[in-house]
A and B are shown apart, each in its own frame.
Chain A
Amino acid sequence: MSAAEVLAVANQPRARVSTRFLRSELKIIFGRRRNIAGLGVLAAVPVILAISVRVSSGSQGAGPDFIIGITGNGLFVAFAALALELPLFLPLAVSAISGDAVAGEANLGTLRYLLAIPAGRTRLLVIKYAAIVIFALVATLLVALVGSIMGLALFGAGDMTLLSGTQTSLADGVWRLVLSSLYLAAGFAALGAIGLFVSTLTEQPIGATIAIVLVNVMMFILDSISQLDWLHPWLLTHWWTAFGDLLRDPIATESIQRGLITALVYAGVFWLAACARLSTKDISS
């Protein structure tokens, strides 16, 4: 190594550990009008639900079991909204974000700029996935929050009757709602890992998003075919509805645990798959 090279190495500034890249990523996700509109749609469901139940108060009947409880305590609006958005709306939102993660940058041509900096391929996927997880969390908590506000405003904040019939305080209800949101967000984040992987396969973000939604719906379909019951525990979506277990007294943890482990494994496997794919991909656009 010559003197000049030693000098060059000495002058190389040290890499900084900072949240700047992640903050920039979040700014792009939450700054896009499209995504804000999407979050608006997610938030509209508990609003519509609460108002329509309130207006037709007294004529209880159809709808998920959750809705029946709404008039008793406002927090049930949040739980019911989560249950209603769980099969399609929330996964769709996560699909749109995760499908766009790499494919969107590739489609615009900005991916090669990021890699030329160099942002680092693994680091890019870490940041992209962290942003997806945060989005899943924000989207789920948003539905829960709007549902709580609407519910408490329209139906009051009395004691809450749990699914197992026991009464509990409002504070405990809120706590269970937070736990439910976190549990569901973990599931959606795992779907986001599938999305991140699919996103590395294509340069068309819409195509990636559609593929992820298809995977999600396919898992629900497989889960509904009773002849395939041996497969059900392996499906990511199979465990999502288990968030209702958090409304029992005491909380039934078995399914919740299985659900979290399944989500973790899905997230790990597909994040690594995305890594394997992107690290060998020739980025020409």
Chain B
Amino acid sequence: MEGPAFHPYLSGRANLARLDAADRYSDPRTSRVRIDAALDRVGLLAVAEKRYRAYSLGMRQRLAIANSLLMPRDLLVLDEPTNGLDPQGTREVRHLISELASDGATVLVSSHLLAEVDQICSHVGVMYEGRLVAQGPLNELRASTTQTVRVDTDRTEDAARVLTELGLSEIASSSGYVTGTLGDVAIEKIVPNLVNACVPVLGFAVLRPSLEDVFVSLTGEGFDVSG
């Protein structure tokens, strides 16, 4: 079963009321207020009386999130929360998750949309074949993979020489720029060294590996992408 699931012939509000009624710990006196607050928070208050059947996938997804907001929670587990949402909806959900986190809740998002994870999460865990192969703060995980620097210059040969002297590996020159793998070299040393060697530095960038690169480096290529 994919995605959210509710009684199709009940309205969004009635569905939440049903789930709230099943909760032994919820206070019936505040039920209406809490349901409306949850619906409001996900932007469904205006369509609260519509049958769930008539909801779009994005609305359904948001109703599922509203359900988790009925009671204050310490931990929320969201499985693909932005699945089926339009760009605005995705943004709203992202905003909502950040809000929940800043309110003190721990939000565990399970997702394969790495760009999303990149934007939302402070910590990530990578699962592969049922095992947790890596976990930690996003930055640490990124740092554990190799970083590449790119120097834009019109004197690529000199730049390549300086970088080699500094101890960078896998130096590659192209027209207009040189790239190299950082290794243990301190980033702040690179530009002064280039300038001292009279290499005009037109641009400098540390190419942070994308989360996808990190993921692939941890789990392998899967299909042979190089063909």
Q: Which residues of A contact B (CB under 8 A)?
A: 8, 12-16, 18, 20-21, 23-24, 28, 32-33, 108-110, 112-114, 117, 119-120, 123-124, 284-285
| Stretch of B18-26, B109-117, B128-136 lying at the A interface | B18-26
A203 nearest in chain B by CB position: B1
A119 to B8, CA, bound (A): 20
- Distance between B181 CB and nearest chain A CB, rounded to angstroms: 44
Within 8 Å CB of B9, what residues of A?
Answer: 32-33
A16 to B5, CA, bound (A): 26
Given A8-B74, A24-B18, A109 and B24 contact (CB-CB distance below 8 Å): no
| Residue B28 at the chain A interface, CB threshold 8 Å | yes
B18 nearest in chain A by CB position: A24
Q: Number of B residues contacting the other chain (C-beta, 8 Å)?
A: 20
A21 to B7, CA, bound (A): 15
Within 8 Å CB of B7, what residues of A?
Answer: 28, 108, 110
- The answer to whether B28 and A20 have CB atoms under 8 Å apart is yes
Within 8 Å CB of A33, what residues of B?
Answer: 9
Majority secondary structure of chain B interface residues (helix, strand, loop or mixed): loop
A285 to B10, CA, bound (A): 19
A280 to B28, CA, bound (A): 31
Within 8 Å CB of A24, what residues of B?
Answer: 17-18, 21-22
A32 to B14, CA, bound (A): 13
Given A28-B18, A108-B7, A110-B7, A117 and B23 contact (CB-CB distance below 8 Å): yes
Given A8-B74, A109-B5, A110-B7, A16 and B24 contact (CB-CB distance below 8 Å): yes
- The answer to whether B17 and A119 have CB atoms under 8 Å apart is no
What are some 26 contacts across the A-B interface (CB < 8 A)? A8-B74, A12-B25, A13-B27, A15-B24, A16-B25, A20-B21, A21-B21, A21-B22, A23-B21, A24-B18, A24-B21, A28-B10, A28-B18, A33-B9, A108-B6, A110-B5, A110-B7, A113-B6, A113-B19, A113-B67, A117-B19, A119-B24, A120-B24, A123-B24, A124-B22, A284-B1
- Distance between A102 CB and nearest chain B CB, rounded to angstroms: 14
